[in-house]
Chains A and B, each alone.
Chain A
């Protein structure tokens, strides 16, 4: 009772010109404890994610390490020009987008299929399958390189030995460009499917069991339940994950494309993506300005892609959109 009276007094004060600032300040005081709880993470994110956003000005400068961001000379759009007239611009853009689309389509379809099937079998044996499925997800790309190398090694690799056994001739996998689209898609699927399948399975678990019971009473078969209940019910989750993935359409998987083809120059026509190119431009060629320009284009296109993907999804079905 006393509190409401106090509130009323405050409100009266506000009406009589307490002002926006004072009101905000009072609100802030009321919420400062939660603000303190989110503050450490917010500071960390500010330093490591937002400060670099300002650093994109490097893309418009002839960056020199001794002069720093502020001291380096402005060069306008020269870094962008330099990149876009190079023969690599088209190649790495095409590679990045096509690979990401390939990984996305392949992983989503296979993981969804596995997740739906997981729902159909007993929990005990499922634990075993899940553990196995998850194993590759927990290996680093550096480790995966050695696994793939055991298959592709020119002299002793499993694949070449098999080819020779069937009368073929061994191939020098790391020196050829054309097999890599297949190799990279297989490796990507192998590594990612466990995680995706589990995320979808978690989504399926969250579906209200009453739908299934009602369907059972109506005499639905398990296949019907899977196609009429399970799949439509996890579509929102699929949509959200696809929107997020579309955002990274332009920022491929550095580890996959750097390690698995062993950073071998002969495979660049089919393995080089924007990320690996930027890395080499920064560390190898030593051109931070151009690397930053490529990176900025990458981030901007990524942002545009998420926003438009979300807009499209919202047009089709507002419930599935991200915001």
Chain B
């Protein structure tokens, strides 16, 4: 018997279509503004469909590419180093505490888990990093503070608990040592979890602005997100002092160059937008937080 088309299912699809539009359209609006001529923005306001497509904003940015390429460089560098290091340490720790036969399993798990519930807070961390570790204005200030998330370690542990213990036992009988077992057996088996966590970690690095805001003054080490934050602070000035600016007779059409800011936003978000759909298929598999407990 053919399944009849149910009204409930239609309603569900309608809800999802509406949600999809609500999720995607705001971002498309920014893309559209970045493609609109500055003059038209002030005349017509922001439109979802640009009245006339213009690449002026992008041309403007790429005319002086030093700032952008440097910011991309810093972001790519910290993302690559950070993701690799973080993923490796997360997998090692997650594997260690997933082994029920590991004698220090419980204390080490608690050691990790406790940081999820209590932290020294922003100020002691700030003092530690700037005054004692002297990481201010180094790329390590962008990489190290966010390197290990206890939550990801628990997700990794949850995933690895499902690796059958017999595999490890038999490798041991064949004379493999723990490190060999980890590299040769456990890492390959955890590819879906590594892909998922790697994606999340790299996104965290790509999108991170907080360490940069706190620790970076050197122009050469400004990552792309901090660049956006700094442009935003200029907008802040303009919006709160709009009367002041108009009285000064500043030509607003020339001055704030909004389309360029929006183009910068698209460029900051863009690369990762292309990457993440390819990792989608691992998500459900890799994100079994149900086994978080324990």
Contacts and interface: CB of A to CB of B under 8 A. Distances in A.
Contacts of A322: 293
A146 B261 contact: yes
B13 to A, nearest CB: 7
A202 B284 contact: yes
B26 A142 contact: no
A175 to B, nearest CB: 7
A114 B46 CA distance: 31
Identify the interface centre among B150, B239, B287: most chain A CB within 10 Å of its CB.
Answer: B239
B103 A69 contact: no
Nearest to B284: A202
Identify the interface centre among B8, B19, B203: most chain A CB within 10 Å of its CB.
Answer: B19
Contacts of B90: 41
Given A37-B178, A156-B45, A45 B148 contact: yes
Contact of B236 (A41, A199, A262): A262
Interface stretch (A6-14, A126-134, A210-218): A126-134
A192 B186 CA distance: 32
B30 A133 contact: no
Interface in A93-135: 114, 117, 120-121, 125, 127-135
Contacts of A47: 133
Contacts of A41: 89-90, 92-93, 112, 148, 153
Q: Binding site of A, secondary structure by majority: helix, strand, loop or mixed?
A: helix
A55 B262 contact: no
Interface in B14-45: 15-16, 19-20, 22-24, 26-27, 29-30, 33, 41-42, 45
Nearest to A191: B23
Given A146-B265, A291-B123, A295-B123, A45 B115 contact: yes
Given A44-B89, A56-B121, A141-B209, A147 B27 contact: yes
A31 B102 CA distance: 7
Interface stretch (B52-60, B62-70, B76-84, B272-280): B272-280
Nearest to A287: B123
A53 B93 contact: no
Contacts of B16: 114, 117, 121, 129
A interface residue count range (under 10 / 10 to 19 / 20 to 34 / 35 or more) = 35 or more
Interface in A60-109: 63, 65, 68-69
A172 B96 CA distance: 55
Contacts of B9: 120-121
A292 B119 contact: no
Interface in A254-295: 254-255, 259, 262-264, 266, 275, 278-279, 282-283, 288, 291-292, 295
Given A37-B178, A49-B115, A52-B124, A175 B240 contact: yes
B228 interface: yes
A316 interface: no
Contact of A158 (B45, B89, B147, B239): B45
Given A199-B287, A206-B288, A52 B269 contact: no
Given A42-B108, A147-B27, A149-B235, A299 B290 contact: no
Contact of A143 (B19, B228, B233): B228
Contacts of A153: 46, 239
A181 interface: no
B24 A135 contact: yes
Interface in A149-190: 149-151, 153-158, 160-161, 174-175, 190
B225 A140 contact: yes
B20 A132 contact: yes
Given A138-B273, A150-B30, A53 B119 contact: yes
A259 B232 contact: yes
Contacts of A303: 117-118
Given A42-B93, A131-B277, A140-B225, A190 B22 contact: yes
A153 B46 CA distance: 9
Nearest to B214: A283
B138 interface: no
Interface of A: 27-28, 30-31, 33-38, 40-42, 44-45, 47-56, 58-59, 63, 65, 68-69, 114, 117, 120-121, 125, 127-136, 138-143, 145-151, 153-158, 160-161, 174-175, 190, 194, 198-199, 201-203, 205-206, 222-223, 236-237, 240-241, 244, 247, 254-255, 259, 262-264, 266, 275, 278-279, 282-283, 288, 291-292, 295-296, 298-300, 302-303, 306-307, 322-323
Given A38-B92, A40-B92, A54-B124, 13 more contacts: A31-B102, A44-B148, A121-B12, A130-B283, A141-B207, A143-B268, A147-B27, A157-B45, A158-B45, A190-B26, A295-B123, A298-B121, A299-B120
7 smallest CB-CB distances across A and B, nearest first, come from A55-B124, A295-B121, A52-B120, A140-B207, A38-B96, A33-B178, A41-B93
25 contacts: A33-B178, A37-B96, A37-B178, A41-B92, A41-B112, A44-B89, A44-B147, A51-B120, A69-B131, A130-B280, A136-B26, A140-B225, A142-B228, A143-B269, A147-B30, A149-B235, A150-B26, A155-B242, A156-B42, A156-B45, A158-B45, A175-B240, A223-B8, A262-B232, A323-B293
Interface of B: 8-9, 12-13, 15-16, 19-20, 22-24, 26-27, 29-30, 33, 41-42, 45-46, 89-90, 92-93, 95-97, 99, 102-104, 108, 111-112, 115-128, 131-133, 144-145, 147-148, 150, 153, 177-179, 182, 203, 206-210, 214, 225-226, 228-229, 232-233, 235-236, 239-240, 242, 258, 261-262, 265, 268-269, 272-273, 276-277, 280, 283-284, 287-290, 292-293
